[in-house]
Copies of this chain bind each other. A is one copy, B any other.
């Protein structure tokens, strides 16, 4: 069995020597002891421990119990549905706020490996390479971050030293040697960047220039690879910030400073056609969306649970508008579940014998959630009103004024501290810097909402045509005579 445990996972990551920059400081190794990384790594370790728990093994391990579920290639609808359940179980463990539990990118690696033949079209070695990346990952139970976006591009080329030497912005192939590709430039925005065993680099479809067309996976501590993390929103008080303190994943600009990517790690190379069809033909996009939609279902359950707890603590259930707000959250939850159900029930086996969920409902799901998640947050704000402004903190409750808080802040049948803990949890979910990053994450994780809508429009081409033709048939067959009146009607 290649499955890791929480402990083994933490030990492995502790030894990772990736070059991580955070708030002006360079960190190399020891992430598991660093305040900004420790908690989320422990949260992930818990997920690995769950895999070993007898009660979860049937769901969280592959059918043959040789790996965790993330590396299993679904061949039947049952496989698919099981995977969805496993994703939801993990997501629930993290209150729905961990965007990148290991299943997210592992799913991509697994789906790409299942589509080995796809990459072999350009040369048998590319198929073998993705297969090798997958097998190594299974063997060690690896985690990955990934990136497939280029920095917003300046139309002017970049000459840092005046007009002499142009340097790349978006990461590109600047050289090729016997050992492999040499990559220079940057990629956006790797969640958990620097904290995972490897990084999966997928081609961006924004450029046609073949210098930008490549796919590979390399260890996070490869020479020249650098992770520029955004400032951490991790907090130390669990009472004040129950989620920030546990689940801050970070996001990083990935810099390739003349990184040498061995040929054996390259599965896609200067191939425009294979790049443009990559996500649709392999089923990778459908699987990424399927993971995301399942996580969002769980997140919505959490928001609903928080909202109902708040309503009960505040004693405002009897108000029609309160019920209406909760009901809107219920509708959102049922809608998300429906999209997932629809994708599962229409799943089909693709040419690589993967059972791929139907993509249309999943695209609709992600687009729906981009617009709906902020409304769910708004519901919480509208329910809790000024409670979110006034919430005391851990230090207040540890001070001489604790008894006064108990007198003036308590709920109908909860202590002030319990009530405050709930309110601070909701704040942290939606109104701290961690919470706001959650909102931005849901708004943008699959791209600009306007472009997501446009791509849904195009994806839906066959259905739209069918419905349009149905309308045209109806109009063509309309009878042309007037309907006969009888005499008494509207004389």
Contacts and interface: CB of A to CB of B under 8 A. Distances in A.
Given A482-B238, A483-B245, A439 B21 contact: no
A123 interface: no
Given A24-B395, A238-B482, A368 B432 contact: no
Contact of A396 (B21, B36, B328): B21
- In order of increasing CB-CB distance, the 4 nearest A-B pairs are A338-B338, A305-B467, A24-B395, A24-B399
Interface in A98-133: none
Contacts of A328: 453
Interface residues of A, number: 152
A147 interface: no
A395 B23 contact: yes
A314 to B, nearest CB: 7
Interface stretch (A60-68, A83-91, A149-157, A203-211): A149-157
Given A302-B467, A425-B475, A412 B155 contact: yes
B393 A231 contact: yes
B404 A483 contact: no
Contact of A330 (B304, B450, B460): B460
B335 A368 contact: yes
Contacts of A95: 474
Given A378-B374, A425-B475, A489-B34, A301 B467 contact: yes
Contacts of A340: 338
Contacts of A251: 389-390
A174 interface: no
B327 A239 contact: no
Contacts of A302: 467, 470-471
Contacts of A403: 160
A11 interface: no
A326 interface: yes
Nearest to A378: B374
A485 interface: yes
Contacts of A488: 25
Contact of A453 (B324, B393, B460): B324
Interface in A352-366: 360-361, 364-365
B408 A151 contact: yes
A48 to B, nearest CB: 19
A391 interface: yes
Nearest to A449: B382
Interface string A411-441: 0100000100110010000011101110111
A456 interface: yes
Given A34-B486, A324-B450, A341-B345, A23 B456 contact: no
Interface in A453-484: 453-454, 456-458, 460, 463-472, 474-475, 478-484
A188 interface: yes
A270 interface: no
Counting chain B CB atoms within 10 Å of each CB, the highest count among A151, A319, A448, A467 belongs to A467
Given A169-B408, A489-B36, A450 B339 contact: no
A367 B396 CA distance: 34
Contacts of A378: 374
A394 to B, nearest CB: 8
A443 B385 CA distance: 8
A169 B405 CA distance: 11
A469 B314 CA distance: 16
A240 B230 CA distance: 12
Counting chain B CB atoms within 10 Å of each CB, the highest count among A35, A36, A237, A471 belongs to A471
Contact of A33 (B25, B382, B486): B486
A88 B472 CA distance: 19
A359 to B, nearest CB: 11
Counting chain B CB atoms within 10 Å of each CB, the highest count among A238, A324, A345 belongs to A324
Contacts of A39: 483
A330 B391 contact: no
Contacts of A454: 320, 323-324, 327
Contact of A308 (B399, B410, B467, B474): B467
Contacts of A431: 433, 436, 440
A228 B331 contact: no
A349 interface: no
A160 B416 CA distance: 12
Counting chain B CB atoms within 10 Å of each CB, the highest count among A169, A226, A404 belongs to A404
A481 to B, nearest CB: 8
A334 B345 contact: no
Given A23-B490, A36-B489, A235-B483, 15 more contacts: A24-B396, A25-B399, A34-B489, A169-B407, A231-B393, A253-B390, A305-B467, A308-B467, A320-B320, A335-B335, A338-B341, A388-B436, A389-B441, A431-B433, A432-B433
